[in-house]
Chains A and B, each alone.
Chain A
Amino acid sequence: MAELCCAGLSFRTAPLDVRERMALSVEDQDRLMDQLRAGGLEAVVLCTCNRAEIYAAGPGADEALEAVREAICERGGEQARSHLYGHRGEAAALHLFRVCCSLDSMVLGEAQIFGQVKEAYERALAAGAAGGELSRACQAAFACAKRARTETGIGRAATSMASAAVDLARRIFGDLAGRPALVVGAGEIGELAARHLGQARCKVLIANRTLERAQALAEQVGAAARPFEELHALLVAVDLVVCSTASPTPLFTRESVAPAMKARRYRPLLLVDLAVPRDVAPGVHGSAEGVYAYDVDDIQQVIAENVSARAAEAVKAEQIVSEEVARWVRARAVRDGVPVLALLRQRAEQIARAEAERTLQNLPELSDKQRRSVEAMGIAIVNKLLHGPTAKLRALDPSGAPSPLAGAAAELFGLEGEAPPKAAGGKS
């Protein structure tokens, strides 16, 4: 039966220059999968900026792992070898599940990695490189990741400047849908802020010193551009302002915000300043009823709180991963057939012993020899009853696959929820 293994390198084990060499193009990844498939392995290639990993499944775990390592070193050079890690069996599944749940990510709980693994799996599926074993492992890992996201808060708190700004706005306004927001500055941070605000369904306006840049960004993110000269007039109309310009002097001061607040009849106004030097003067926060202004240091503080909250949630997510890996191991054992036999025998012997013990409690006058005979009788009945099923379940079909009766036996005797037998696996 095919066994799961994985090898690769990540930001935890390899420096950036090594990871850069493993930044494979989609075509390279396809070629790599073809090469492994030709060697009789199922394979999924995962390449992100923080990790390059190959998940494979083949008849011999050690051989498969070695083939995968060699394939990586062919691309990444001999220098990559010393940064490689490898897992097989249950340990490989645990690694895959943790990666999908973003427990092994640089930013704990970030959502991107789940999509990246899913994309890698779909590419392998399209290329015919992902077979039954790898598909089952990936599907189980995806289900685990979804469960971790739903049942824990690992992905809930924002950990980037732009998303933390949007989170902050939610703490003041609640739902942001339809709320007018102004992004001042059309640089990289402005773009990210505009995208996050757009995702929160805000009505986004973009103002920039160069109107053309504002228009270009507005077109990209589905917002509207406004001339920079209207900046202070816009304060009356919008509820949220995110600034990220390179202006050497503040764009908003107490004096410029005060008339706008009066005109807005003191409706709350949130100014998030992501620029250094600051676009919002220090005295603006709380200068009038309803004015809230936060700078980069404040946002960093929010992010730090969120990161520690995510770390607390990660403990719960790790528990979910353990449960899901155990479930995957159990399902695999059931498919494997022989462990089904072991589980069946274990269950039957437990029943026989319990019944013998109960009978013996009512017969205190029996001698030790007689007691042992009663116990032996119980086990003998189990052996005779299970002789036929044992022979059938041990009979492999000519292709070497386990008996198709294994799954039926597990279902019939309700063995799928039993404690998993010890599975082969470990880190190498």
Chain B
Amino acid sequence: MTHLLHTIALHEYMTAALLLLAHLVRPFKLGPPLARLFAGSGALLHGAALGTLLWAQGGEPVGLAQACSAVSLALVVISLFVELWYRQPVLGAFLLPLGTAVLVPAQMGDSGVLVPSLKGPILPLHVTVALLALAAVAAAAGVALVYLLMERQVKLKHFGILFSRLPPLQVLDELNRRLVVWGFVAISLTVISGAFFVRGTGPGLSWSAKEVTTLAAWVMFGALLLARFLAGWRGRRVALLTMAGFGVLLISFFSAFDPVTRVAGVQ
């Protein structure tokens, strides 16, 4: 049943993403509301499927597939929120395909095994904030990509379709700032909650690839925000650093899933 709900949601996301991409190429009035309808109803089904799975597992997420599914849902929700809040359907044309792409591996049905020592009340919180952090930073990287595209049009004086349809530069920069702040807060909570059960033995560092990359991403985003607020960094430089930070966080995400034991969350 949950697989069926996932499949329907995936198809709804794909339809919504195609509608928004078509709207980007040739705007039509019904495009954005229809896309919102498909993405919104898809997110409801997706949420129901994921909730049912987690409920059956006692609230503890297991495996790469479920993690991808959760990140995908968070990305779709962020995309819908950003689109409605900023009234920029074009942003959805970039964020929604990203959310859809992340859901594809979730369909492959990977079911991991959780190391018994990791079970505990903090694990669901740790995994949830970690996945939310990844989703927020992925969305920020998507917005940064749109910024770089738009900035290129502005700098090269290309007054074509992208110039007239992409959101204004400053709106993109401001949205990037907000998403990075939320992402940084979530990474910080991930690091703090993760520190409680490293190796299941209590606070400390194991210097695993996942821990090192997560800390590196935390330092990068922290430095980025400091540079933004104290030195006035913005624009292209910030967009490039956001994308680099997302790359580091992505490595941390994949290194959390050991290919031998297929353990979710933490090792």
Contacts and interface: CB of A to CB of B under 8 A. Distances in A.
A and B are partners in one complex rather than unrelated chains: yes
Nearest to A289: B235
Nearest to A292: B154
A174 B235 contact: no
Contacts of B154: 171-172, 292
B163 interface: yes
A268 B170 contact: yes
B203 interface: no
B212 interface: no
Contacts of A198: none
Nearest to B171: A174
B169 A286 contact: no
Q: Assign chain B's interface to a size class.
A: 20 to 34
A309 B170 contact: no
B168 A170 contact: yes
A151 B29 CA distance: 8
Contacts of B169: 171-173, 268
Contacts of A298: 157, 159
Given A267-B232, A301-B157, A305-B164, 7 more contacts: A151-B29, A172-B154, A266-B232, A266-B234, A268-B169, A290-B235, A294-B157
Contacts of A265: 231-232
A294 B235 CA distance: 19
Contacts of A181: none
Interface residues of A, number: 23
A266 B235 contact: yes
Nearest to A309: B164
B235 to A, nearest CB: 6
Identify which of B154, B159, B171, B233 gathers the most chain A CB atoms within 10 Å of its CB.
B159
Contacts of A268: 169-170, 235
Interface in A285-340: 285-286, 289-290, 292, 294, 298, 301-302, 305, 309
A324 to B, nearest CB: 18
Interface in B225-267: 231-237
Contacts of A301: 157, 159
B167 interface: yes
A153 B26 CA distance: 12
Contacts of A289: 234-237
Identify which of B167, B168, B234 gathers the most chain A CB atoms within 10 Å of its CB.
B168
B160 interface: yes
Interface in A108-148: none
Interface of A: 151, 153, 157, 170-174, 265-268, 285-286, 289-290, 292, 294, 298, 301-302, 305, 309
A170 B165 CA distance: 12
B157 A172 contact: no
Interface string B150-162: 0000110101100
A268 B155 CA distance: 12
Contacts of B237: 289
A290 B151 CA distance: 10
A170 B159 CA distance: 13
A309 B165 CA distance: 12
B12 to A, nearest CB: 28
B225 to A, nearest CB: 15
Contacts of B235: 266, 268, 289-290
Identify which of B163, B164, B171, B234 gathers the most chain A CB atoms within 10 Å of its CB.
B164
Contacts of A153: 27
16 contacts: A157-B164, A171-B154, A171-B168, A172-B169, A173-B168, A174-B167, A174-B168, A267-B232, A268-B169, A286-B155, A289-B235, A290-B234, A298-B159, A301-B157, A301-B159, A305-B160
The 7 closest A-B pairs by CB, nearest first: A265-B232, A174-B168, A174-B171, A305-B159, A173-B170, A172-B169, A302-B159
A184 B229 CA distance: 32
A173 B168 CA distance: 6
A296 B139 CA distance: 37
A15 B15 CA distance: 54
A105 B159 CA distance: 25
Nearest to B86: A174
Interface string B163-187: 1100111110000000000000000
A18 to B, nearest CB: 37
A289 B23 CA distance: 31
